Amino acid sequence: MLTRVSNAKNPDGAGAAYIEAWSRHVSRRFAQACIAPEFHARQHGVMRPPVLNPLFASLTSLPGVGPRLERLYASLFDREAPRVVDLLFHLPSGVIDRRSRPKLRDALPDQVVTVAVTVDKHRPSPPHRSRAPYRIYTHDDTGDLTLTYFNARRDYLETLLPVGETRYVSGKVEFYDGMLQMVHPDRVVDEAGFATLPLVEPTYPLTEGLALGNVRRAMDGALGRLPDLPEWQDETWVAREQFPAFGHALRGLHRPAAPSDIAPENPAWTRLAYDELFAGQLALALVRAHMRRQPGRGSASEGRLRARILKALPYALTHSQQKAVDDILTDLARPQRMLRLLQGDVGSGKTVVALTAAAAVIEAGRQATIMAPTEILARQHLATIAPLAEAAGLRIAILTGRERGAARKEILDRLVLGDIDLLLGTHSLFQEDVAFHDLALAVVDEQHRFGVHQRLALTQKGEAVDVLVLTATPIPRTLVLTFFGDMDISELREKPPGRQPIDTRTIPLSRLQEVEDAVGRVIAEGKRAYWVCPLVEESEKIDLAAAQARFEALREKFGDQVDLVHGRMKGSDKDAAMARFAVGESRLLIATTVIEVGVDVPEATIMVIEHAERFGLAQLHQLRGRIGRGPGASTCLLLYKAPLGETAKARLAILRETEDGFRIAEEDLRLRGEGDVLGTRQSGLPGFRIARAEIHGKYLGAARDDAALILVRDPTLSTPRGEALRQMLYLFGKDEAVKLIRAG
């Protein structure tokens, strides 16, 4: 409640909406919060340090960035309203090295060179043949160079390269018809321009429509906004690691003097990576301390509701489900807060465990919420839970981006009055105006997506909220600490009885035709199959093209029973496609990886994955977990592009060998290092933009210890270093944690 109130002062301007929403929900807890002595002090923690404001301005405030480019940056950074700081953290992927300055005689083909030449003659494209190139002949004292332009404007080139003058041109040279030529030089400058020409230029990951020049120009503007910031790292540590200051590191990376300056191993990149890891660890530590400080409230229950749910189940709980339920009930009955991770493979039956936990707090007269990472999954929770809830007399509702207007308002009204016992939903649950009457338990179904410290913010929607995180990626204890902080763990190691092992096979893509025919035969027999299309890029948009093409081809072949589902579809269309598949109206479902997360159609028995070698092991395991959920025998076909590298071969072999997620995780860790276990990009760490697992992972321990030390020495972050650390937390997007800092 306190934080919600403080948000009214938030510089981002959420205040007005909040107050309006608030006036609709009068709550006694609000009054209590207002008179709490820490209320005023608390607001300090919420203000972003004003010195950072230029970095949090919209990208459109930078030169050359309008709404069109803003949209491209938004998809590149995967964030709705990209800010200057997001651009600054977009680090170079390489450089163009223009330092080579040979005489023409010594220029090597296919090399980027910078040469001083004298302009001899222009030969424009012949009239009516504008497709023919415009050529400009030049020389130095050792040889000749032709500059070639397509679709060029004559007046422009005549000004740029006046006959008789000397110019510096930079670009890649090649031989054409025995002549040295340069097509569209990257740079043409005179003597004065040459003096300021950066000879080493960074290149950046781009997206279609966004040019390198756009990024460089915007980056110059962004660097110009960098304020002088105090050092937030421990000075001794900074000296030992030879870390440059934060601003220095950013400038060094975006304006390299040598190609090696942008290596992730160098001190500049490492410094930023350490900042990022440290911010993550400090945020976790703050959340954890906040949770410890607030005493829990025991939710005692006799198990009346639980008994009704269990009676309504068509099966008995497995041993490990029973054990997990017992652990959770014990936690809930205690006056301390629960912070528990429930790890269990896909299909191990986590939902019913979560529901049982919810039933316990509901029986104590309080509320629970289950948050899913996607809309499909939230709706599926609803479908699974609804009949059980009805049998037990629980009042449930769902809140996602699709509930709007009057329907949404009705849910919110009932929620704050306590007329809803269990609210399911997506990240929509975070919205300001979602207020509970008395939230006691937050279940966060992470599947294998991470970023839990942000999700823990859900606990601010109630008093002493107990937290249960569900994850389908079994991860080693050290990683649990890194990404979840210090949590208790329950594991579901056994599968529900009656599941048959999945027959997993690897097949080269050259046999695609055969695979299509085989799939055609089995769906003709009435079986159901998923067909997962290749990951083309880490963008649903581009993956879509591949899925669309495969869909059209297979539909041509097999007709109406082929359907398509992807992440860019409207929520209702997605659900409709899933529903058609669930009832058997369609029997072959072409999909991008949206089906990865939790979808449950027990009748589906075949899974085809195209370009399996492009997926992470955890992801393949998740995808395969979509089948083998019913009594029928299941088959998984992993189509790969030959030849496979050693590691790829080993990874696919592991999948053939075992379905045990814990074992797969261990093998994966052995093969690839930490990042991939978490099902993220090969080298990325989940939720991190700068730190790379294989290079900076070794700093995690230090970051964790350092964060723990801060919490002991300066838990309110009020020393000068503490103030600086707040800035760091803001820069790395850990504002939620800043809000949890105890008033000083």
- Kindly indicate which of the ranges 90-98, 146-154, 342-350, 638-646 contains the residues binding ligand ADP, using the contact rule CB under 6 A: 342-350
Q: How many CB atoms lie within 10 A of CB 535?
A: 20
- Residue with smaller CB distance to ligand ADP, 317 or 333: 317
- Taking residues 453 to 472 in sequence order and writing x for each that binds ligand ADP by CB under 6 A, - otherwise, the string is -------------------x
- 296 touches Mg ion by CB under 5 A: no
The three state secondary structure string of 333-384 is HCCCCCEEEEEECCCCCHHHHHHHHHHHHHHCCCEEEEECCCHHHHHHHHHH
Q: Looking at beta carbons only, is 279 or 502 nearer to ligand ADP? A: 502
Grouping H, G, I as helix, E, B as strand and the rest as coil, residue 440 is strand
Angle between helices 375-392 and 350-363 (to 10 degrees): 50
Q: Give the whole-angstrom CA distance, residue 85 versus residue 317.
A: 49
Q: Closer CB to Mg ion, residue 157 or residue 470? A: 470
- Nearest to residue 312, comparing CAs of 394, 368, 392? 392
C-beta of 345 vs 735, nearer to Mg ion: 345
Specify the residue, 255 or 621, whose C-beta has the smaller distance to ligand ADP. Answer: 621
Q: Is 526 exposed, middle or buried (0-12, 13-18, 19+ CB in 10 A)?
A: exposed
Structural tokens at position 735: 């504002």
Which range in 139-147, 239-247, 314-322, 476-484 contacts ligand ADP by CB under 6 A? 314-322
Is-contact 189 168, C-beta < 8 A? yes
Radius of gyration of the chain (CA): 29
Quick check: 321 binds ligand ADP (CB under 6 A)? yes
Chain centroid to Cα 194, Å, comes to 41
Q: Pick from Mg ion, ligand ADP, none: which does 347 bind, CB < 5 to 8 A by kind?
A: ligand ADP
**Residue 664: CB minimum distance to Mg ion, A:** 17
Residue 543 CB, nearest distance to ligand ADP (Å)?
Answer: 23
**Strand 367-371, strand 200-203: pairing:** unpaired
Q: Kindly tell me which of 48 and 350 has the beta carbon lying closer to ligand ADP.
A: 350
The backbone torsions φ and ψ at residue 205, rounded to the nearest 5 degrees and listed phi first, read -60, 135
Interaction between residue 339 and ligand ADP (CB under 6 A): no
Q: Quick one: which of 57, 289, 317, 333 contacts ligand ADP (CB under 6 A)?
A: 317
35 three-state secondary structure: helix
Q: Whose structure tokens read 């879509």?
A: 544
Q: How far is the CB of 469 from Mg ion (least distance, A)?
A: 12
Binders in 577-616 for Mg ion, by CB under 5 A:
598
| Pattern 256-295, ligand ADP, x by CB under 6 A | ----------------------------------------
CA 535 to chain centre: 15
User: Which residue reads 């041109």 in tokens?
Assistant: 169
Closest CB to Mg ion among residues 157, 678: 678
Which stretch in 235-243, 340-348, 478-486, 652-660 sits in contact with ligand ADP by CB under 6 A?
340-348
- Residues between 343 and 402 that touch ligand ADP (CB under 6 A): 344, 346-352
When binding is defined by CB under 6 A, the residue of 10, 146, 270, 318 that contacts ligand ADP is 318
How far apart are CB 321 and ligand ADP at their closest, in Å? 6
Q: Which is nearer to Mg ion, 171 or 598 (CB)?
A: 598
Q: What is the SS3 assignment for 581-620?
A: HHHCCCCEEEECHHHHCCCCCCCEEEEEECCHHHCCHHHH
Q: Which residue is nearest to Mg ion (CB)?
A: 598
β-bridge pairing 339-344 and 466-471? parallel
Q: Which residues between 623 and 642 bind ligand ADP (CB under 6 A)?
A: 629
The amino acid sitting at 610 is E
Q: CB of 734: closest distance to ligand ADP in angstroms?
A: 29
* Count of positions on this chain that bind ligand ADP (CB under 6 A): 18
Per-residue binder mask for Mg ion (CB under 5 A), 418-447, x = binder: ------------------------------
- The residues near 381 (Cβ < 8 Å, ≥ 6 apart) are 351, 370, 372, 424, 445
- What's the closest the beta carbon of residue 443 comes to ligand ADP, in angstroms? 11
* Contacting ligand ADP within 570-599 (CB under 6 A): 598
Q: How far is CA 281 from CA 276, 598, 616, 728, in A?
A: 9, 29, 25, 12
Binders in 228-267 for Mg ion, by CB under 5 A: none
DSSP 537: S
CB of 598 to Mg ion, least distance (A): 4
Q: How far is the CB of 418 from ligand ADP (least distance, A)?
A: 27
Residue 644, φ and ψ in degrees, nearest 5: -90, 140
Which residue in 600, 667, 668, 735 binds ligand ADP (CB under 6 A)? 600
Q: What is the dihedral of CA 139, 143, 148, 153, to 10 degrees?
A: 0
The stretch among 15-23, 254-262, 269-277, 313-321 that binds ligand ADP (CB under 6 A) is 313-321
Of the residues 221, 303, 476, 496, which one makes contact with ligand ADP according to CB under 6 A? 496
Q: In the window 684-743, what residues touch ligand ADP (CB under 6 A)?
A: none
Could you give the strand order of the β-sheet that contains 396-399, starting from the edge strand earlier in sequence? 396-399, 422-425, 367-371, 439-447, 466-471, 339-344, 488-492
For residue 260, what is the DSSP state?
G
Q: How far is the CB of 472 from Mg ion (least distance, A)?
A: 7
Residue 7 or 447: the one with the smaller Cβ distance to Mg ion is: 447
Residues near Mg ion (CB under 5 A): 598
The footprint of ligand ADP (CB under 6 A) covers: 315, 317-318, 321, 344, 346-352, 472, 496-497, 598, 600, 629
